[in-house]
Amino acid sequence: MSRLFAPAGERGKLNLKFENKTALVSASTAGIGFAIALELAREGARVFVNGRTQARVQAAIVNIRHEIDESQVEGIAEDLAALAGAENLLRRLPAKFGWVSEGIVLQNLLHKEDVQCLSFKQFRDSLYSF
């Protein structure tokens, strides 16, 4: 049986098994998206934060690195509320960051009441499903 919580002595840490995984968290420069990105970084994931402006993306990266020195956090500015921005992100990620197909996309913008965990392929396919 897998453990959700870390062993005793590692107070306050969850064990969500994201260590050495890659995650893109959309709309993650503030609010719940930022909190998700921060926790994934704390879990040892390589995290890509996303926002509409480079300044906000950079601020989120600085804040996460301030909290977690050894974090692997990078960013990409694109407006994912627009189809063109999402398509740009899909073009830029593999080339610029070596994105892998089994990467995780945490999408919290298209369905504001839900946070969805998708594969890269599912995210790409979802752009054209509505």
What CATH number corresponds to the domain at position 39?
A: 3.40.50.720
CB 86 within 8 A of CB 109: no
Question: Does residue 6 fall inside a structural domain?
Answer: no
Residue 124 CA: distances (Å) to CA of 15, 86, 88, 101: 28, 8, 11, 11
CB 95 within 8 A of CB 111: no
Neighbours of 121 (CB within 10 A): 12
Only one residue has tokens 């959309």, namely: 26
The model's pLDDT over 84-113, given as tens digits with 9 standing for 90+, comes to: 888 888 778 766 666 555 566 655 544 444
pTM for this structure? 0.72
Question: Does residue 1 fall inside a structural domain?
Answer: no
The model's pLDDT over 19-60, given as tens digits with 9 standing for 90+, comes to: 888 888 888 999 988 998 999 899 898 898 999 999 999 999
Nearest to 27 by CA among 76, 88, 83, 74: 76
Question: Does residue 7 fall inside a structural domain?
Answer: no
Domain that includes residue 102, residue range: 22-126
Q: How many domains does the chain have?
A: 1
